Chains A and B, each alone.
Chain A
Amino acid sequence: MKKKTPQPPKWATRFLTTYCRPELLEDLQGDLNEYFDRNLRNRGAFIARLIYIIDVLKFLRSYVVRRPSVTNPFNNTFMLSSYIKTSGRSILRSRLFSGINIIGLAVSMSIGLLVIAILSDLFSYDSTLKNKDRIYRVVSNLEWPAHQPMKLASTSWKGGTLIHEEVPAVESMTILRNNFGGDARTGDNTVPVKGFYADNGFFDVFGFPFISGVPSTALKQPHSLVLTQVTAQKLFGQADPIGKTVTFDSTLYTVTGVLQDLPKLSHLHFEALASLSSINTSNTTTDGGYMDWNNCFSNYVYVLLKKNSKPSSFTTALGKINTRENDPAANSKVLLSSQPLKDIPMGSRMANEIGAVFPLALVYVIAGLALVILLSACFNYTNLSIARSLRRSREVGIRKVMGANRSQVVGQFIVESIILSLISLVCAFFIFLVLRGQFLSFHEFLQSAFSLQLTPRVILYFISLAMAVGIIAGVLPAIFYAKINAIQVLKNASSLKVFRHVSFRKALVVVQYTLSLIFITTTVIGYNQYKGFIRFDLGFKTENILNIRLQGNKDEVLAGKLAGLPAVNGISRSLMVSSLGSFYGTDMKYNNPADSAGVAQNFVDGNYLQLHQYSFLAGHNFTASPKNAPETEIIVNEQLIRRFNIGKGNPQKAIGERVSIDNKKLTIVGVLRDFHYGTLDSKIDPTAIRYSVSPNGYLNVKLNMANLPATMTSIATFWKELDKVHPLDAKFYDAQIEEAYSQYAVMLKVIGFIALMAICISSLGLFGMVIYTMEKRVKEVSIRKVLGASEGLLVYLLSRSFLFLLMIAALIALPLTWLFFDRVILPRFVYHQPIGFGEMLIGLFFVGGIAFIMIGIQTLKIVRANPARILKNE
């Protein structure tokens, strides 16, 4: 056989074709070929190729290079309206396709919107401050032997003073000190108020606007007080607060100013500021003297740098102060450094943080996750659009025949995908509104830290996101269609090569389904476990018991009034509410003085055990004793007698034994069946119940649930009469237990939503494959039908391969999920329910059902079609 003759390098030819004017191209190419042949003969293939490449490069001259074609700029504008019109028609024509795409894009876009709103909030923290770019916070790094260095958001008072005195770049400085606050009293009005001590530089640095008062002197004098507007109204109503006095404990403060309320997105939050000079600095605190260099735990220092001063010079100045002030002989070292104001909300984690902080890594993770979700949705759109190419390529062919050029076809499809993604944006927006509410209710912290308001800027971001999604999703189909050869398509559309990597696509579908199955099964199992937690038999009854926190008030008055209510079936008193995760422990000893062990305890009155229906294994309830009688009795659980081997672990024999606790000798009068003092993730520990006539923690009120609103109203009225300052804090025990596990509920919600999204995305991926395969095989199906295949058989034939993919996904996902729960999650909970076989399959049925319906509808459509109509075109 003849050896293939060497050819000129293809890429060089292609390069020439791209830059050369069409009218010159043929001649040049011919010349190059001629030379190439000649060189090939005389000098060998390598040299010939080299010369060819060099010549191609040398032809790159001004007269050879193509001029960019100048088209009428108005042309595109005119075409745009046509694009929009035809896109609208095409979206309406294939409703199923558009609907599915819109849902898919909307679900993933809603996450994008949420992330945008979150990021926008984070970046607009403190953005209303006038000098925000020049404000720096001084933070400390505490180094001490045998400890990790500790980053503190707080600084020493002395550090602040030194900076103000010595650093020339500092225009003004302020020191804040926390722990100002308490119950503020004005005449007969008492309001709890929280805030800071601050010096007068505060207003120079932050420039918070005043409503009344003089900023330059407001915090100069000792015992001056500046209130925010809301606090002023709470204290004084509509009256002018300036000059009035407010009492905290026994100290009298004079109001010297009222500030406008702080914006929500501020890292500082306070209701009142007291002048720093009110503090008597000659006293000492638990951390040492106020003015000690190392006392860096309660003060925050902010500086305003002068205009045009460099932050680096400030850093250098801080370094100098550090070296001078740190005693080399001292145990611990405090190193000051500066942090720009805008870095505070997303800065690194520091102890003693003054407000909410979101670690930057978390921000990246959230944004990355949203990006992945969005991209996979875009990918699905691309997939689906190309999968439909068999239908749409004819349209493109005709467009091209009518004179559309590539860029116009690209424009057409990009506009179509942008319109689709803008429609998705509208849907996504509604999902976002729901998500926002859910997100904020996940945790009080989120509610206080984010507003997620819809500002014009955020809306603009939303629209840009939709446009970007439209362009990213539409660009590949657009290029694909633009490349279509009109003649080929019009002659025979099925000759198009659409999906090259079919096995890769199948693998992708399997991966997507595996993930969806993992998420949804996790949700189902997690939900069952969570339900199990809140319905768990704790060893006592919690139904219809309302726990009222006394908040320091005397129980007798309230209990007396409540007992008069017809709906109240019983009242008991306890120091704390158990089974919610809080723990109150002490040490106990039995006969052996060297053997002491920690036990959990609770103080209750005589009604408590009965009201909660604890079950006694032996012995009896406490015998009633007067209020000030010494404590003599104790009731314990099984674990405790087993731990100390009291009566050889036999409850009957344990009665009458004496244990010592808190230096008291107490007699065991009862043994309770083990009950859950802690949450279900901890084992049942040795627990003791001790007697107190009024433990002054909670009132446990057993209610008759009939006519609950009226009962609650009366309880609220009684509380108002008792305590005018603090709002009533009464919660049903069951609700409290639910609250104790609320973090899991939040996690479930998040995972559930991810599952929903994963299902949407993977369903779309599968759908694209199905549509493509069906369109490919429509003729085959028709022929089979003509030859006598039954419908059922055809549906089975067509859906077989997809169901196979689903099976693979299930075989990977379900064992993985089971292992994950069995080995990783559930061992953390000492008391949990077994994983049911049924709950493993619920998710599979759900996902499989959706896939089956999707495949079924598509296959049936083809199978039901009249074969004569499909085959006659051949």
Chain B
Amino acid sequence: MKGTHLGEFEELVLLTIASLLDNAYSVAICDELTKHADRTVKLGVVHAVLNRLEEKGLVKSELGEATATRGGKRKRFYLITGAGKASLIRSKAIRDELWQKIPNFTLNRI
């Protein structure tokens, strides 16, 4: 199994879910990503990733209350699971470790 390995975009989405706390549903995730990552994120792509993350057991989801704003349709809220947290921490650890190996890393003007 591909298991807990995280792709780049998956990692971003997972982080966003974690940062949004209780308000992590598809549209909010999309907006947040657009704001921070400074790139256009398509709803379809986010849904696909959310679906994959849920399959991997990194997030879980439940339906919220009905609101008037979405034509009476309920939102599906995502929550990061323990496994999700673990894989985020692991991937951060890997990065940090690698970062530390670089002695002097600055952006030199060319």
- Beta-carbon contact of A61 and B48 below 8 Å: yes
A residues 49-103 touching B (CB-CB < 8 Å): 55, 58-59, 61, 63-64
Q: Mark B37-80, 1 if CB is under 8 A from A, else 0.
A: 00000111001100100000000000100000111011110000
Which of B26, B42, B71 touches A27 (beta carbons < 8 Å)? B26
A58 and B44 alpha carbons, distance in the complex (Å)? 6
Q: Which residues of A contact B71 (CB under 8 A)?
A: 29-30, 33
A90 and B69 alpha carbons, distance in the complex (Å)? 50
Q: Which residues of A contact B43 (CB under 8 A)?
A: 31, 35, 55, 58
- Beta-carbon contact of B47 and A59 below 8 Å: yes
A63 and B51 alpha carbons, distance in the complex (Å)? 8
B residues 59-103 touching A (CB-CB < 8 Å): 63, 69-71, 73-76
Shortest beta-carbon distance, A76 to chain B, in Å?
33
Q: Which residues of B contact A63 (CB under 8 A)?
A: 48, 51
Check if B21 is an interface residue, CB within 8 A of chain A: no
Q: Which residues of B contact A33 (CB under 8 A)?
A: 69-71, 73
Given A35-B27, A37-B69; A30-B75 close (CB under 8 Å): yes
Which of A28, A29, A34, A35 touches B47 (beta carbons < 8 Å)? A28
Q: Which residues of B contact A30 (CB under 8 A)?
A: 70-71, 73-75
Check if A26 is an interface residue, CB within 8 A of chain B: yes
- Beta-carbon contact of A58 and B42 below 8 Å: yes
Q: Which residues of A contact B63 (CB under 8 A)?
A: 26-27
- Beta-carbon contact of A34 and B27 below 8 Å: yes
A695 and B26 alpha carbons, distance in the complex (Å)? 110
- Beta-carbon contact of A27 and B69 below 8 Å: no
A residues 736-772 touching B (CB-CB < 8 Å): none
Shortest beta-carbon distance, A743 to chain B, in Å?
73
Shortest beta-carbon distance, A508 to chain B, in Å?
42
Shortest beta-carbon distance, A648 to chain B, in Å?
105
A375 and B25 alpha carbons, distance in the complex (Å)? 55
Q: Which residues of A contact B48 (CB under 8 A)?
A: 61, 63
Shortest beta-carbon distance, A10 to chain B, in Å?
12
Q: Which residues of B contact A27 (CB under 8 A)?
A: 25-26, 63, 73-76
Shortest beta-carbon distance, B73 to chain A, in Å?
3
Q: Which residues of A contact B42 (CB under 8 A)?
A: 58
Q: Which residues of A contact B27 (CB under 8 A)?
A: 31, 34-35
Shortest beta-carbon distance, B30 to chain A, in Å?
8
Q: Mark A16-58, 1 if CB is under 8 A from B, else 0.
A: 0000000000111111011101000000000000000001001
Q: Which residues of B contact A64 (CB under 8 A)?
A: 47
A17 and B47 alpha carbons, distance in the complex (Å)? 17
Q: Which residues of B contact A26 (CB under 8 A)?
A: 63, 73-74, 76
A26 and B25 alpha carbons, distance in the complex (Å)? 13
Residue of B nearest to A26 (CB): B73
Residue of A nearest to B77 (CB): A27
Q: Which residues of A contact B26 (CB under 8 A)?
A: 27, 31
A58 and B69 alpha carbons, distance in the complex (Å)? 23
- Beta-carbon contact of A55 and B44 below 8 Å: yes
- Beta-carbon contact of B70 and A61 below 8 Å: no
Q: Which residues of A contact B75 (CB under 8 A)?
A: 27, 30
Q: Which residues of A contact B76 (CB under 8 A)?
A: 26-27
Shortest beta-carbon distance, B92 to chain A, in Å?
28
A26 and B62 alpha carbons, distance in the complex (Å)? 12
Shortest beta-carbon distance, A237 to chain B, in Å?
92
A730 and B82 alpha carbons, distance in the complex (Å)? 111
A61 and B47 alpha carbons, distance in the complex (Å)? 10
A33 and B75 alpha carbons, distance in the complex (Å)? 11
Most chain B CB within 10 A, of A34, A37, A58, A61, is at A34
Most chain B CB within 10 A, of A31, A35, A37, A58, is at A31
Shortest beta-carbon distance, B80 to chain A, in Å?
18
Q: Which residues of B contact A29 (CB under 8 A)?
A: 70-71, 73
- Beta-carbon contact of A34 and B44 below 8 Å: no
Residue of B nearest to A38 (CB): B27
- Beta-carbon contact of B44 and A61 below 8 Å: yes
Shortest beta-carbon distance, B61 to chain A, in Å?
8
Residue of A nearest to B46 (CB): A31
Provide a sorted-by-A list of 21 A–B residue pairs whose CB atoms are within 8 angstroms.
A26-B63, A27-B25, A27-B26, A27-B75, A28-B47, A29-B70, A30-B74, A31-B43, A33-B69, A33-B70, A34-B27, A34-B70, A35-B43, A37-B69, A55-B44, A58-B43, A58-B44, A59-B47, A61-B44, A63-B48, A63-B51
Instruction: Give the interface of B toward A (CB within 8 A).
Output: 25-27, 42-44, 47-48, 51, 63, 69-71, 73-76
The 7 closest A-B pairs by CB, nearest first: A30-B73, A30-B70, A33-B71, A27-B76, A58-B44, A33-B70, A29-B73
Other A-B pairs beyond A27-B74, A31-B27, A55-B43, 13, CB < 8 Å:
A27-B26, A27-B73, A29-B70, A30-B74, A31-B26, A31-B43, A33-B71, A34-B27, A34-B69, A55-B44, A58-B43, A61-B44, A63-B48
